[in-house]
Chains A and B, each alone.
Chain A
Amino acid sequence: MGRHIKGPLDQFNVTELIGLKFDILGKFYLAITNISLYLALVLVVIVSIFYFGDNDSKLVPNKWSIVLETFFASLKGMVKDQIGLAYEVYLPLIFSIFFFFLTGNLISNIPYSFAANASAVVSIGYSLTFLLGVTIISLFKHGNKFFRNFIPEGTPLALVPLLVAIEFTSYTARGFSLGVRMFANLFSGHCLLAILSVFGNQLLSVS
């Protein structure tokens, strides 16, 4: 019974790897952790896909460049449907989000690896910063007309304060909820996998 039993939640521990530790103001600290390792791994994987798919501007595509180009074409079509005519400005953003989280999640399916997107900071923090960024961009672009977003057309004047409150909360909650969706899915999925594997091992082993 001296064996330290790992629970299913221990897989999400953020441990420091190399021990490079910076204490900022005695309270916050910055280190090279396993999250940073796996995020770097995500970056390396994506960059290597782009490197292999770089066909030297030949017309006939590589195997890897077929992959890249199908991703590009499907994402471009999706973005064009949603945003409309001035969509090309926002294509790198959508593309980067898509690829980053996709490869992060796929890497976490490998056994004994770490789910970088299962941490609350990465998922929810990303969605909140994205919401903030989008609000700032739209404020700069549209000015005061941005606040027309919160009033649906054709509402009677008496209902406007209530509706504005509701729309505003839904707008801010959307930033939070999108991150929570991904976080909850990954967290619960990996927890389930850990539990199943541990109990399956205990069930099926003879000891």
Chain B
Amino acid sequence: MPQLDQFTYLTQFVWLCVFYMTFYVLLYNDGLPKISRIIKLRKRLVSQEKVGAEQSNDRVEQDVVFKECFQASANYLYSSVSGASKWCKGMVQLANAHKLQRMNKDYVCSLGEISVSQVIKKNALSTLSPSTYQTTSLASRQTTALNKIYVLRGQKRTLAKIKNGPRKKKIS
């Protein structure tokens, strides 16, 4: 049987190794990369045309997309609200500075007149009849620190008026 001729074994094995190794090296470096590249490229292009590149990106970037969306919406709301409030404040300040200035002055003056008139009345009552001061209803109304200051100022003015009044009478 020719397969059992042992003197041929070395040649057969050596030539097998030589040609098989060249084939393997050629396949590994040239043949298989070319085929696999074309197949992968074609698969990717075909899937993009069909679906619009949705499939591969969906699962991976969902969390990132949601986070970014929520952050963007929250930032937008915050920025719009803060902008609106700033505008309102700016407008109010402008209005108070220019258009409403006189109105503010008159308001403050009227407040001052009302409070000072009350204080003057009270002090006039107190200086003329100190016993009646404590029993009248005016004492229950005005008990704050500002009113005490008004009281002091009113006292000074009424004292000045009272001092000046009887002097004028005496002289005339």
Contacts and interface: CB of A to CB of B under 8 A. Distances in A.
| Chain A bound to chain B | yes
Interface of A: 9-10, 12-14, 24, 28-31, 33, 35-36, 39-40, 42-43, 46-47, 50, 53-55, 57, 59, 61, 65, 68-69, 72-73, 91-93, 95-96, 99-100, 118-122, 125-126, 183, 187
A181 to B, nearest CB: 15
Interface of B is mostly: helix
Interface residues of B, number: 35
Contacts of B10: 24, 28-30
B3 A12 contact: yes
B1 interface: yes
Nearest to B12: A121
Nearest to A59: B42
A14 B2 contact: yes
Interface string B23-64: 110111011101111110110010000000000000000000
Contacts of B14: 30
Interface string B9-27: 1111111100110111011
Contacts of B27: 92, 95-96, 99
Which 6 residue pairs across A and B have the least CB separation, nearest first? Answer: A36-B15, A121-B12, A120-B3, A39-B19, A14-B8, A12-B2
B141 to A, nearest CB: 89
15 contacts: A10-B2, A28-B7, A33-B8, A39-B20, A59-B42, A69-B38, A72-B35, A92-B27, A99-B23, A99-B27, A119-B3, A120-B3, A121-B8, A121-B13, A122-B16
A12, A73, A121 interface centre (most CB from chain B within 10 Å): A121
A125 B13 contact: yes
A158 to B, nearest CB: 43
Contacts of A100: 20, 23
A119 B12 contact: yes
A29 B38 contact: no
Contact of B11 (A13, A14, A183): A14
A72 B11 contact: no
Contact of A72 (B3, B19, B39, B45): B39
A46 to B, nearest CB: 6
B13 to A, nearest CB: 5
Given A92-B27, A99-B27, 17 more contacts: A9-B2, A31-B11, A35-B8, A35-B16, A39-B15, A42-B19, A47-B23, A50-B30, A57-B34, A57-B41, A65-B38, A68-B35, A92-B24, A92-B28, A100-B20, A121-B8, A121-B13
Contacts of B2: 9-10, 12-14, 119
